[in-house]
Structure 1
Amino acid sequence: MKCKTTVEFQNEVLKNMSFTPYKDTNFILYKNHEKPELGYFIKYSREGYYDFGIGDYTIPHNFTLSFEHSEELMRFGTVYSGETKFRIEDEPVSSFTPSSFFVVEKHLKGNQVWEKGQHFHGAEITIYKKYLEEVINPAFPDTINFQSFLSNYTYHHLPLDIAKIIEVLRSLGEKHTLTPLYLESKLLECLAIIHQELSASPENVFTNQLDYGHIEIGKSRKISLTASDVNAIQRAHDILSEDPCNPPTIKALSKEVFLNEQKLKAGFKARYHMSISQYTTSLKIAMAETLLSTTELSVEEIAKSLGYSHSGNFVKMFKKAHGKTPLAFRKRW
């Protein structure tokens, strides 16, 4: 069977768990009275807008579910125990392990696997696009939207304040004392924290989790780049572009962008396909070409304006790049 909606998918999981729904005032409790050892699932919901689920259960048999839905929704929460393997189409097998998580789903297609004897305990908030469009955005436009995140990408860390809120909600929910008003107030607080995190800086708890690839340092060492690293490398590029004739030393540049020298040099070369010195030299050559073509300045004057103490060094650099001296280049014009 292929589940076409999130609710259908959840219902199929509960069906495989052999759980029966028992409605209360504010929530639905799912369990098997004849097999209490299987545990339970509790669902608080404002139908069509958001859900809050708490699960503490053991899988009774192996099963796999396929899914393909066009919904747009946001899910985040904490897995206290258990690991679920899932595969999104065209992506490698992933899993939720004990940790917090955040994911924005859009046109999701794949499958998920459960194995007999696995135990799960966790709490999760699901926010549907309808809630943002009809409740949040009319009152608070330009605050938060799904476009702020990569679709179908699992972020494995939440802001600490959100993790604390989920723990409070879980505790109240398991005691059956969680009210709809309190739940929605905390859900709004979570959205506010997410918005604050995103708007405070381009380097935040979400962007810093993205995989920007790896760079090689030396012959045997590989390190990953974070969003913060990439932004630092971009700042270094901008600084060098502003004044290539008087570039800072690697040490000074490293301190200015708050990135260690090794990662700065290796990251710059990986991103721009040239070393820092090659980049500044390329800028100087472009400037030299312009001055030679459009002014009557002497080679010595041009060399000095480009930061060379000795014109001979400038001539050597230019000839290496062009295969001819500055004067020979000028004669073309």
Structure 2
Amino acid sequence: MNEIDVLQQICLNLNEGDKLKEKLPAETLYEEDGTEVFTMKTHRHQEIILRDYQEEPYLNMFFSFQGLSSSKHLYSGIEYSLTDNQHMVGYTPFFEGDYSLKGNMLEIFGVCMKESYFQKLIVTDLACLQQFWDNVQKGVETGMTSHPMPIIWQQRSVINEMLNCIYQGQMRKLYFESKITELFFLQAEQANNLPKEGFLLLKSSDREKLNAARQFIQHHIFEPLTIRKISREIGLNEFKLKKGFRQLFGTTVFDCLTQFRMDYARQVLLDTSKTISEVAYTLGYSDPYNFSKAFKKHFGFLPSKL
């Protein structure tokens, strides 16, 4: 079953008379120019089953942080489900069917775009986008991937920025348009780099340990860290640490370590009188040249240019 089946059922129609929206405790964060950004966070003890109908094309981005979301086509009878910490993006020319939401805690976030808006996002530099937009242009129901993807921290960060937006008027419009674009391309980048072997099934406890691993790395950037050391510290086997870390955060353990080290180095060089050599040795580099090389690779310029 195509992932967009879930998207179209969860994403609420933009019509003012939409009955689904009246029954769900969803909050509209932004609605303008054929685009709606909404969020919902609520406690539910009973399953919600609702009928939805939509006759015009939509591009939908949907994020399920907590709860189980299921959909069922009225005519095909095919069902699909999303679990915690999953997202997807897809296109549908029309839809009619039922969807359900269940779980003690429901937390979702979505962006629904009419054709007049999502035309702005049509670029084909990535292989996954080339195929996706080809299908959209043909009016074929399609998803950017054949299955949901795990939500990574960069996506959560952009969503949090939209949830906490303080701007009003035209500034709010510009802000949301830029964040919608950023979020879409984060999804596209993740889709384009999907592991061939598929995703790990990460339990809530696994995600907690992986978040602990990231914090451990951040607090020990001056030490010669190894996968084995981090694995023992957080109580997660090395395989799940390496693969789960990349899946959850969109980067490897050691790339994350490099990022924290380079961010620290940049801040120290900007805010203190320490030399490049001093910072290099503090971070464990035996040669300032190697540090400068790593710095340029990360930021695109040498530390001497700060």
Query: Which category of TM-score, normalised to the shorter sequence, fits these structures?
Result: 0.3 to 0.5
Normalised by the length of structure 2, the TM-score is 0.44
Structure showing greater Rg: 1
